[in-house]
Structure 1
Protein backbone atom coordinates (compact mmCIF):
# COMPACT_ATOMS: atom_id res chain seq x y z
CA UNK A 1 0.00 0.00 0.00
CA UNK A 2 1.13 3.53 -0.83
CA UNK A 3 -0.28 6.75 0.60
CA UNK A 4 -0.34 10.33 -0.68
CA UNK A 5 -1.38 13.41 1.29
CA UNK A 6 -1.26 17.19 0.80
CA UNK A 7 -2.12 20.54 2.34
CA UNK A 8 -1.81 19.93 6.07
CA UNK A 9 -0.70 23.53 6.61
CA UNK A 10 0.86 22.60 9.94
CA UNK A 11 1.17 25.54 12.31
CA UNK A 12 1.40 25.95 16.11
CA UNK A 13 -2.01 27.67 16.05
CA UNK A 14 -3.59 24.35 14.96
CA UNK A 15 -2.27 21.83 17.52
CA UNK A 16 -5.05 19.30 16.82
CA UNK A 17 -3.97 18.92 13.19
CA UNK A 18 -0.31 18.57 14.21
CA UNK A 19 -1.21 15.88 16.75
CA UNK A 20 -3.35 14.13 14.15
CA UNK A 21 -0.42 14.08 11.74
CA UNK A 22 2.00 12.76 14.34
CA UNK A 23 -0.51 10.02 15.21
CA UNK A 24 -0.85 9.30 11.48
CA UNK A 25 2.93 8.89 11.19
CA UNK A 26 2.91 6.45 14.10
CA UNK A 27 -0.09 4.54 12.72
CA UNK A 28 -1.38 4.34 9.13
CA UNK A 29 1.82 5.67 7.56
CA UNK A 30 3.86 2.83 9.06
CA UNK A 31 1.57 0.28 7.45
CA UNK A 32 2.37 1.76 4.02
CA UNK A 33 5.42 1.11 1.88
CA UNK A 34 5.58 4.81 1.03
CA UNK A 35 4.10 8.16 2.02
CA UNK A 36 4.26 11.05 -0.44
CA UNK A 37 3.47 14.61 0.69
CA UNK A 38 2.41 16.81 -2.23
CA UNK A 39 3.18 20.19 -0.74
CA UNK A 40 2.04 22.61 1.96
CA UNK A 41 3.00 20.31 4.80
CA UNK A 42 3.62 23.54 6.72
CA UNK A 43 1.63 26.75 6.65
CA UNK A 44 4.95 28.59 6.38
CA UNK A 45 8.63 27.65 6.23
CA UNK A 46 11.21 30.42 6.44
CA UNK A 47 14.30 28.28 5.93
CA UNK A 48 15.95 25.11 7.16
CA UNK A 49 18.11 27.14 9.55
CA UNK A 50 15.10 28.13 11.68
CA UNK A 51 13.32 25.43 13.68
CA UNK A 52 11.36 25.96 16.82
CA UNK A 53 10.03 23.26 19.12
CA UNK A 54 7.03 22.76 16.82
CA UNK A 55 9.13 22.13 13.72
CA UNK A 56 11.47 19.79 15.64
CA UNK A 57 8.50 17.66 16.76
CA UNK A 58 7.26 17.24 13.19
CA UNK A 59 10.72 16.44 11.83
CA UNK A 60 11.33 13.89 14.59
CA UNK A 61 8.02 12.15 13.85
CA UNK A 62 8.83 12.01 10.13
CA UNK A 63 12.29 10.61 10.83
CA UNK A 64 10.89 7.94 13.13
CA UNK A 65 8.41 6.90 10.45
CA UNK A 66 11.19 6.69 7.85
CA UNK A 67 13.37 4.65 10.21
CA UNK A 68 10.43 2.28 10.77
CA UNK A 69 10.60 1.42 7.07
CA UNK A 70 8.23 3.78 5.22
CA UNK A 71 9.74 5.59 2.23
CA UNK A 72 8.97 9.29 2.58
CA UNK A 73 8.88 11.86 -0.22
CA UNK A 74 8.07 15.56 -0.18
CA UNK A 75 7.15 17.99 -2.95
CA UNK A 76 7.21 21.76 -2.38
CA UNK A 77 3.93 23.63 -2.08
CA UNK A 78 3.18 27.31 -2.31
CA UNK A 79 3.62 27.72 1.46
CA UNK A 80 6.78 25.72 2.12
CA UNK A 81 8.82 26.25 -1.04
CA UNK A 82 11.90 27.15 1.07
CA UNK A 83 12.25 23.65 2.47
CA UNK A 84 15.69 22.41 1.49
CA UNK A 85 18.21 19.60 1.68
CA UNK A 86 18.82 19.97 5.42
CA UNK A 87 15.14 19.36 6.16
CA UNK A 88 15.16 16.40 3.79
CA UNK A 89 18.17 14.81 5.45
CA UNK A 90 16.89 15.34 8.99
CA UNK A 91 13.33 14.16 8.27
CA UNK A 92 14.18 11.22 6.02
CA UNK A 93 12.18 12.69 3.12
CA UNK A 94 13.33 12.53 -0.48
CA UNK A 95 12.64 15.81 -2.32
CA UNK A 96 10.51 15.53 -5.46
CA UNK A 97 10.45 17.92 -8.39
CA UNK A 98 7.12 19.52 -9.28
CA UNK A 99 5.91 17.88 -11.47
CA UNK A 100 7.14 14.29 -11.14
CA UNK A 101 6.08 11.26 -13.16
CA UNK A 102 5.88 8.15 -10.98
CA UNK A 103 4.49 4.63 -11.18
CA UNK A 104 1.58 3.94 -8.85
CA UNK A 105 -0.67 0.92 -9.01
CA UNK A 106 1.06 -0.27 -12.15
CA UNK A 107 0.45 2.90 -14.15
CA UNK A 108 2.26 6.14 -14.93
CA UNK A 109 0.88 9.06 -12.96
CA UNK A 110 1.78 12.73 -12.77
CA UNK A 111 2.31 14.10 -9.26
CA UNK A 112 2.01 17.86 -8.68
CA UNK A 113 1.26 20.29 -5.90
CA UNK A 114 -1.30 21.86 -8.21
CA UNK A 115 -0.70 25.60 -7.94
CA UNK A 116 1.01 25.76 -11.34
CA UNK A 117 -2.30 24.70 -12.92
CA UNK A 118 -4.16 27.78 -11.62
CA UNK A 119 -3.14 29.87 -14.62
CA UNK A 120 -6.19 32.18 -14.51
CA UNK A 121 -4.86 33.65 -11.25
CA UNK A 122 -2.35 35.91 -12.96
CA UNK A 123 -1.28 37.71 -9.79
CA UNK A 124 -0.47 34.45 -8.05
CA UNK A 125 1.34 33.04 -11.09
CA UNK A 126 3.58 36.11 -11.11
CA UNK A 127 4.37 35.56 -7.42
CA UNK A 128 5.01 31.87 -8.04
CA UNK A 129 7.59 32.64 -10.72
CA UNK A 130 9.35 34.97 -8.29
CA UNK A 131 9.13 32.60 -5.32
CA UNK A 132 10.61 29.66 -7.27
CA UNK A 133 13.54 31.74 -8.56
CA UNK A 134 16.78 30.52 -6.87
CA UNK A 135 18.21 34.05 -6.74
CA UNK A 136 15.09 35.38 -4.96
CA UNK A 137 15.15 32.46 -2.53
CA UNK A 138 18.82 33.05 -1.76
CA UNK A 139 18.07 36.70 -1.06
CA UNK A 140 15.25 35.78 1.34
CA UNK A 141 17.34 33.17 3.13
CA UNK A 142 20.11 35.72 3.68
CA UNK A 143 17.76 37.93 5.71
CA UNK A 144 17.80 37.78 9.53
CA UNK A 145 15.33 35.28 11.01
CA UNK A 146 13.18 38.02 12.55
CA UNK A 147 12.72 39.68 9.16
CA UNK A 148 11.82 36.36 7.53
CA UNK A 149 9.22 35.66 10.21
CA UNK A 150 7.69 39.08 9.63
CA UNK A 151 7.73 38.55 5.84
CA UNK A 152 6.03 35.16 6.15
CA UNK A 153 3.32 36.69 8.34
CA UNK A 154 2.82 39.52 5.84
CA UNK A 155 2.58 37.13 2.89
CA UNK A 156 0.02 34.97 4.71
CA UNK A 157 -2.12 38.02 5.46
CA UNK A 158 -1.87 39.28 1.89
CA UNK A 159 -2.78 35.85 0.53
CA UNK A 160 -5.85 35.66 2.74
CA UNK A 161 -7.01 39.12 1.73
CA UNK A 162 -6.41 38.46 -1.97
CA UNK A 163 -8.25 35.14 -1.95
CA UNK A 164 -11.27 36.75 -0.29
CA UNK A 165 -11.68 39.00 -3.32
CA UNK A 166 -11.05 36.39 -6.03
CA UNK A 167 -13.72 34.52 -7.93
CA UNK A 168 -13.95 30.83 -7.04
CA UNK A 169 -13.07 29.62 -10.53
CA UNK A 170 -9.91 31.72 -10.63
CA UNK A 171 -8.53 29.86 -7.60
CA UNK A 172 -9.25 26.47 -9.17
CA UNK A 173 -7.17 24.79 -11.85
CA UNK A 174 -7.56 25.82 -15.47
CA UNK A 175 -9.04 22.86 -17.41
CA UNK A 176 -6.93 23.59 -20.49
CA UNK A 177 -3.76 23.65 -18.36
CA UNK A 178 -4.63 20.23 -16.95
CA UNK A 179 -5.03 18.72 -20.42
CA UNK A 180 -1.89 20.34 -21.79
CA UNK A 181 0.19 19.22 -18.79
CA UNK A 182 -1.02 15.63 -19.00
CA UNK A 183 -0.35 15.56 -22.74
CA UNK A 184 3.14 16.98 -22.24
CA UNK A 185 4.01 14.20 -19.79
CA UNK A 186 2.08 11.49 -21.67
CA UNK A 187 -0.01 10.40 -18.66
CA UNK A 188 -3.67 9.60 -18.14
CA UNK A 189 -3.68 10.02 -14.35
CA UNK A 190 -2.87 13.23 -12.49
CA UNK A 191 -2.71 13.62 -8.69
CA UNK A 192 -2.43 16.96 -6.94
CA UNK A 193 -3.57 19.03 -3.96
CA UNK A 194 -3.52 22.82 -3.44
CA UNK A 195 -7.14 23.69 -4.28
CA UNK A 196 -8.66 22.10 -1.14
CA UNK A 197 -11.40 20.65 -3.36
CA UNK A 198 -11.14 16.86 -2.98
CA UNK A 199 -12.63 15.03 -5.94
CA UNK A 200 -11.99 12.55 -8.72
CA UNK A 201 -12.49 14.15 -12.13
CA UNK A 202 -12.99 12.09 -15.28
CA UNK A 203 -11.74 13.68 -18.48
CA UNK A 204 -10.37 12.94 -21.93
CA UNK A 205 -6.74 13.40 -22.93
CA UNK A 206 -5.77 12.91 -26.57
CA UNK A 207 -9.01 11.02 -27.10
CA UNK A 208 -8.35 8.61 -24.24
CA UNK A 209 -10.11 8.41 -20.83
CA UNK A 210 -8.16 10.03 -18.01
CA UNK A 211 -8.56 10.88 -14.33
CA UNK A 212 -7.51 13.76 -12.09
CA UNK A 213 -7.39 13.08 -8.35
CA UNK A 214 -7.49 16.10 -6.05
CA UNK A 215 -6.40 15.35 -2.47
CA UNK A 216 -8.21 17.33 0.21
CA UNK A 217 -6.67 19.52 2.90
CA UNK A 218 -6.46 18.54 6.57
CA UNK A 219 -8.72 20.35 9.03
CA UNK A 220 -9.49 19.91 12.73
CA UNK A 221 -11.04 16.47 13.00
CA UNK A 222 -10.56 15.41 9.37
CA UNK A 223 -7.66 14.33 7.18
CA UNK A 224 -7.52 13.26 3.52
CA UNK A 225 -5.39 10.72 1.72
CA UNK A 226 -5.11 8.89 -1.57
CA UNK A 227 -4.58 5.19 -0.96
CA UNK A 228 -3.00 3.00 -3.62
CA UNK A 229 -3.37 -0.76 -3.20
CA UNK A 230 -4.57 -3.85 -5.05
CA UNK A 231 -7.99 -2.22 -5.46
CA UNK A 232 -6.50 0.75 -7.33
CA UNK A 233 -6.54 4.42 -6.32
CA UNK A 234 -8.98 5.45 -3.57
CA UNK A 235 -9.51 9.02 -2.38
CA UNK A 236 -10.76 9.02 1.20
CA UNK A 237 -11.23 11.15 4.29
CA UNK A 238 -10.68 9.91 7.84
CA UNK A 239 -10.99 11.14 11.39
CA UNK A 240 -7.96 12.60 13.15
Structure 2
Protein backbone atom coordinates (compact mmCIF):
# COMPACT_ATOMS: atom_id res chain seq x y z
CA UNK A 1 0.00 0.00 0.00
CA UNK A 2 1.09 3.57 -0.67
CA UNK A 3 -0.04 7.16 -0.30
CA UNK A 4 -0.63 8.95 -3.60
CA UNK A 5 -0.15 12.64 -4.36
CA UNK A 6 -1.42 14.47 -7.44
CA UNK A 7 -1.93 18.07 -8.52
CA UNK A 8 -2.40 20.35 -11.51
CA UNK A 9 -4.98 18.35 -13.42
CA UNK A 10 -6.69 21.58 -14.52
CA UNK A 11 -9.91 19.71 -15.29
CA UNK A 12 -12.04 21.59 -17.79
CA UNK A 13 -15.06 20.71 -19.91
CA UNK A 14 -13.08 21.62 -23.02
CA UNK A 15 -10.69 18.69 -22.44
CA UNK A 16 -12.75 15.63 -21.48
CA UNK A 17 -9.78 13.30 -22.04
CA UNK A 18 -8.05 14.55 -18.89
CA UNK A 19 -11.25 14.07 -16.91
CA UNK A 20 -11.52 10.54 -18.28
CA UNK A 21 -7.95 9.81 -17.25
CA UNK A 22 -8.63 11.10 -13.76
CA UNK A 23 -11.82 9.07 -13.40
CA UNK A 24 -9.93 5.94 -14.46
CA UNK A 25 -7.26 6.75 -11.85
CA UNK A 26 -9.93 6.99 -9.15
CA UNK A 27 -11.43 3.68 -10.23
CA UNK A 28 -8.02 2.02 -10.57
CA UNK A 29 -4.83 2.54 -8.61
CA UNK A 30 -6.39 4.99 -6.14
CA UNK A 31 -8.54 2.11 -4.85
CA UNK A 32 -5.37 0.39 -3.62
CA UNK A 33 -3.94 3.42 -1.79
CA UNK A 34 -3.66 4.18 1.91
CA UNK A 35 -4.77 7.74 1.09
CA UNK A 36 -4.87 10.20 -1.79
CA UNK A 37 -3.83 13.86 -1.61
CA UNK A 38 -4.78 16.45 -4.24
CA UNK A 39 -2.45 19.43 -3.88
CA UNK A 40 -4.37 22.05 -5.81
CA UNK A 41 -5.50 22.99 -9.31
CA UNK A 42 -7.80 20.02 -9.63
CA UNK A 43 -9.91 22.30 -11.81
CA UNK A 44 -8.82 24.84 -14.41
CA UNK A 45 -11.19 27.26 -12.73
CA UNK A 46 -13.66 27.07 -9.86
CA UNK A 47 -16.23 29.84 -9.58
CA UNK A 48 -18.03 28.63 -6.48
CA UNK A 49 -19.66 25.56 -5.00
CA UNK A 50 -23.00 26.69 -6.38
CA UNK A 51 -21.77 26.10 -9.93
CA UNK A 52 -24.19 23.64 -11.55
CA UNK A 53 -21.88 22.58 -14.40
CA UNK A 54 -21.78 18.85 -15.17
CA UNK A 55 -18.01 18.56 -14.67
CA UNK A 56 -18.18 19.42 -10.98
CA UNK A 57 -20.97 16.93 -10.33
CA UNK A 58 -19.14 14.17 -12.20
CA UNK A 59 -15.90 14.71 -10.29
CA UNK A 60 -17.66 14.96 -6.94
CA UNK A 61 -19.51 11.66 -7.52
CA UNK A 62 -16.29 9.88 -8.53
CA UNK A 63 -14.42 11.17 -5.49
CA UNK A 64 -17.32 10.24 -3.22
CA UNK A 65 -17.26 6.73 -4.61
CA UNK A 66 -13.57 6.50 -3.71
CA UNK A 67 -14.00 7.84 -0.19
CA UNK A 68 -17.06 5.65 0.38
CA UNK A 69 -14.85 2.66 -0.46
CA UNK A 70 -12.68 3.55 2.54
CA UNK A 71 -9.88 5.52 0.88
CA UNK A 72 -9.41 8.92 2.56
CA UNK A 73 -8.92 11.88 0.21
CA UNK A 74 -7.47 15.26 1.14
CA UNK A 75 -7.56 18.48 -0.86
CA UNK A 76 -5.31 21.54 -0.68
CA UNK A 77 -6.27 24.63 -2.68
CA UNK A 78 -4.29 25.74 -5.71
CA UNK A 79 -4.18 29.02 -7.58
CA UNK A 80 -7.05 27.96 -9.86
CA UNK A 81 -9.52 26.46 -7.41
CA UNK A 82 -9.08 28.62 -4.30
CA UNK A 83 -12.86 29.19 -4.15
CA UNK A 84 -13.61 25.51 -3.68
CA UNK A 85 -15.38 25.19 -0.34
CA UNK A 86 -17.01 23.00 2.25
CA UNK A 87 -20.10 22.33 0.13
CA UNK A 88 -18.12 20.65 -2.64
CA UNK A 89 -15.86 18.94 -0.09
CA UNK A 90 -18.90 17.39 1.56
CA UNK A 91 -20.28 16.22 -1.78
CA UNK A 92 -16.92 14.70 -2.75
CA UNK A 93 -16.28 13.27 0.69
CA UNK A 94 -12.82 14.72 1.11
CA UNK A 95 -11.18 16.85 3.78
CA UNK A 96 -9.98 20.36 3.05
CA UNK A 97 -6.44 21.14 4.18
CA UNK A 98 -4.81 24.43 5.12
CA UNK A 99 -2.56 26.29 2.67
CA UNK A 100 0.37 24.55 4.34
CA UNK A 101 -0.04 21.23 6.10
CA UNK A 102 2.39 18.90 7.84
CA UNK A 103 1.50 15.22 7.76
CA UNK A 104 3.11 12.11 9.15
CA UNK A 105 4.13 10.09 6.08
CA UNK A 106 5.29 6.66 7.20
CA UNK A 107 7.11 8.08 10.20
CA UNK A 108 8.45 11.26 8.56
CA UNK A 109 6.98 14.76 8.94
CA UNK A 110 6.30 16.15 5.45
CA UNK A 111 5.24 19.67 4.48
CA UNK A 112 2.47 19.84 1.85
CA UNK A 113 1.63 22.97 -0.14
CA UNK A 114 0.49 23.87 -3.62
CA UNK A 115 3.81 25.52 -4.43
CA UNK A 116 2.82 28.94 -5.73
CA UNK A 117 3.98 30.67 -2.54
CA UNK A 118 7.51 29.44 -3.31
CA UNK A 119 7.62 31.35 -6.62
CA UNK A 120 8.61 34.60 -4.95
CA UNK A 121 10.47 35.99 -7.99
CA UNK A 122 7.11 36.40 -9.73
CA UNK A 123 6.13 39.51 -7.81
CA UNK A 124 3.16 40.29 -10.07
CA UNK A 125 1.64 36.89 -9.37
CA UNK A 126 2.27 37.18 -5.62
CA UNK A 127 0.39 40.49 -5.57
CA UNK A 128 -2.50 38.88 -7.47
CA UNK A 129 -2.48 35.91 -5.10
CA UNK A 130 -2.71 38.17 -2.06
CA UNK A 131 -5.75 39.86 -3.61
CA UNK A 132 -7.71 36.72 -4.52
CA UNK A 133 -6.97 34.98 -1.23
CA UNK A 134 -8.47 37.91 0.68
CA UNK A 135 -11.74 36.68 2.30
CA UNK A 136 -13.50 39.99 1.58
CA UNK A 137 -12.56 39.82 -2.13
CA UNK A 138 -13.78 36.23 -2.29
CA UNK A 139 -17.07 37.06 -0.60
CA UNK A 140 -17.69 39.91 -3.04
CA UNK A 141 -16.95 37.65 -6.00
CA UNK A 142 -19.18 34.83 -4.76
CA UNK A 143 -22.02 37.32 -4.30
CA UNK A 144 -22.08 37.95 -8.06
CA UNK A 145 -24.51 36.02 -10.28
CA UNK A 146 -23.19 32.71 -11.56
CA UNK A 147 -23.26 33.85 -15.19
CA UNK A 148 -21.13 36.89 -14.37
CA UNK A 149 -18.63 34.77 -12.50
CA UNK A 150 -18.30 32.48 -15.53
CA UNK A 151 -17.42 35.48 -17.69
CA UNK A 152 -14.90 36.75 -15.15
CA UNK A 153 -13.29 33.32 -14.87
CA UNK A 154 -12.79 33.23 -18.63
CA UNK A 155 -11.24 36.68 -18.57
CA UNK A 156 -8.89 35.72 -15.75
CA UNK A 157 -7.79 32.56 -17.58
CA UNK A 158 -6.97 34.55 -20.72
CA UNK A 159 -5.08 37.15 -18.69
CA UNK A 160 -3.13 34.37 -17.01
CA UNK A 161 -2.22 32.78 -20.37
CA UNK A 162 -0.98 36.08 -21.77
CA UNK A 163 1.00 36.82 -18.62
CA UNK A 164 2.61 33.37 -18.66
CA UNK A 165 3.73 33.80 -22.28
CA UNK A 166 5.48 37.03 -21.36
CA UNK A 167 7.41 35.66 -18.38
CA UNK A 168 10.73 33.86 -18.41
CA UNK A 169 10.76 30.26 -17.21
CA UNK A 170 12.99 30.96 -14.21
CA UNK A 171 10.59 33.57 -12.78
CA UNK A 172 7.79 30.99 -12.71
CA UNK A 173 9.90 28.39 -10.90
CA UNK A 174 10.40 28.19 -7.15
CA UNK A 175 12.95 30.41 -5.45
CA UNK A 176 15.58 28.26 -3.68
CA UNK A 177 15.71 30.66 -0.74
CA UNK A 178 11.92 30.41 -0.35
CA UNK A 179 12.16 26.62 -0.34
CA UNK A 180 14.87 26.67 2.31
CA UNK A 181 12.92 29.14 4.43
CA UNK A 182 9.74 27.07 4.22
CA UNK A 183 11.58 23.97 5.43
CA UNK A 184 13.14 25.94 8.29
CA UNK A 185 9.92 27.67 9.29
CA UNK A 186 8.07 24.37 9.56
CA UNK A 187 10.97 22.42 11.08
CA UNK A 188 10.89 19.65 8.46
CA UNK A 189 13.24 18.11 5.91
CA UNK A 190 10.63 16.83 3.47
CA UNK A 191 8.29 18.75 1.17
CA UNK A 192 5.77 17.89 -1.56
CA UNK A 193 4.19 20.45 -3.88
CA UNK A 194 2.95 21.07 -7.40
CA UNK A 195 2.21 24.27 -9.35
CA UNK A 196 5.38 24.55 -11.46
CA UNK A 197 4.61 21.57 -13.73
CA UNK A 198 8.24 20.41 -13.38
CA UNK A 199 8.03 16.90 -11.89
CA UNK A 200 11.18 15.85 -10.09
CA UNK A 201 12.50 14.66 -6.74
CA UNK A 202 15.24 16.94 -5.43
CA UNK A 203 17.62 15.63 -2.75
CA UNK A 204 19.87 18.38 -1.39
CA UNK A 205 21.82 19.13 1.76
CA UNK A 206 20.54 21.95 3.96
CA UNK A 207 22.94 22.96 6.70
CA UNK A 208 24.47 19.51 6.50
CA UNK A 209 21.12 17.73 6.74
CA UNK A 210 19.61 15.75 3.82
CA UNK A 211 16.35 17.23 2.56
CA UNK A 212 13.93 16.00 -0.07
CA UNK A 213 11.48 18.00 -2.19
CA UNK A 214 9.09 16.28 -4.58
CA UNK A 215 7.48 18.35 -7.34
CA UNK A 216 4.30 16.92 -8.84
CA UNK A 217 3.67 17.07 -12.57
CA UNK A 218 0.63 18.34 -14.42
CA UNK A 219 -1.82 16.17 -16.37
CA UNK A 220 -2.51 16.11 -20.09
CA UNK A 221 -4.95 14.25 -22.32
CA UNK A 222 -2.51 11.34 -22.64
CA UNK A 223 -0.83 11.02 -19.27
CA UNK A 224 -0.86 12.14 -15.68
CA UNK A 225 1.67 12.39 -12.91
CA UNK A 226 1.45 10.77 -9.49
CA UNK A 227 3.88 10.60 -6.59
CA UNK A 228 3.73 7.22 -4.88
CA UNK A 229 5.08 7.16 -1.33
CA UNK A 230 5.44 4.13 0.91
CA UNK A 231 7.77 2.93 3.62
CA UNK A 232 10.44 2.10 1.03
CA UNK A 233 10.61 5.56 -0.55
CA UNK A 234 9.14 8.06 -3.01
CA UNK A 235 8.61 7.46 -6.74
CA UNK A 236 7.18 9.66 -9.48
CA UNK A 237 5.02 7.59 -11.81
CA UNK A 238 3.02 8.15 -14.97
CA UNK A 239 -0.72 7.64 -15.22
CA UNK A 240 -1.79 6.50 -18.69
What is the alpha-carbon distance in structure 2 between the residues aligned to residue 238 and residue 50 of structure 1?
Answer: 28
Equivalent position of 1:190 in the other structure: 191
Deviation of 1:163 after TM superposition, in Å, equals 0.5
Unaligned segments of structure 1, at least 5 residues: none
What is the alpha-carbon distance in structure 1 between the residues aligned to residue 193 and residue 179 of structure 2?
Answer: 11
Equivalent position of 1:166 in the other structure: 167
Normalised to the residue count of structure 1, the TM-score between the two structures is 0.98
> Secondary structure at 1:168's aligned position in 2?
coil
Equivalent position of 1:45 in the other structure: 46
- Contact kept, 8 Å, 1:33 with 1:69, in 2: the verdict is no
Deviation of 1:201 after TM superposition, in Å, equals 1.2
**CA-based RMSD:** 0.8
Give the ranges of 4+ consecutive aligned residues of structure 1 lying more than 3 Å apart after TM superposition.
none
Question: Is 1:150 aligned with 2:131?
Answer: no
Equivalent position of 1:26 in the other structure: 27
Q: How does 1:77-156 map to 2 (within 5 A)?
A: 77-156=78-157
Equivalent position of 1:55 in the other structure: 56
How many positions carry a matched residue from both structures?
Answer: 239
Equivalent position of 2:4 in the other structure: 3
Offset from partner CA, 1:70-95 (integer Å, 9 cap, x none) = 10100000000000000111100100
What is the alpha-carbon distance in structure 2 between the residues aligned to residue 182 and residue 28 of structure 1?
Answer: 30
What is the alpha-carbon distance in structure 2 between the residues aligned to residue 140 and residue 229 of structure 1?
Answer: 41
What is the alpha-carbon distance in structure 2 between the residues aligned to residue 198 and residue 151 of structure 1?
Answer: 31
> Secondary structure at 1:170's aligned position in 2?
coil
Deviation of 1:8 after TM superposition, in Å, equals 0.3
Deviation of 1:204 after TM superposition, in Å, equals 2.4
Deviation of 1:105 after TM superposition, in Å, equals 2.4
> Secondary structure at 2:195's aligned position in 1?
coil
What is the alpha-carbon distance in structure 2 between the residues aligned to residue 236 and residue 183 of structure 1?
Answer: 28
Offset from partner CA, 1:183-206 (integer Å, 9 cap, x none) = 000111110000000011122223
> Secondary structure at 2:203's aligned position in 1?
strand
Deviation of 1:211 after TM superposition, in Å, equals 1.0
- Contact kept, 8 Å, 2:25 with 2:239, in 1: the verdict is no
Offset from partner CA, 1:22-76 (integer Å, 9 cap, x none) = 1111111111121000000000000001121121111100000100111010000
Deviation of 1:237 after TM superposition, in Å, equals 1.6
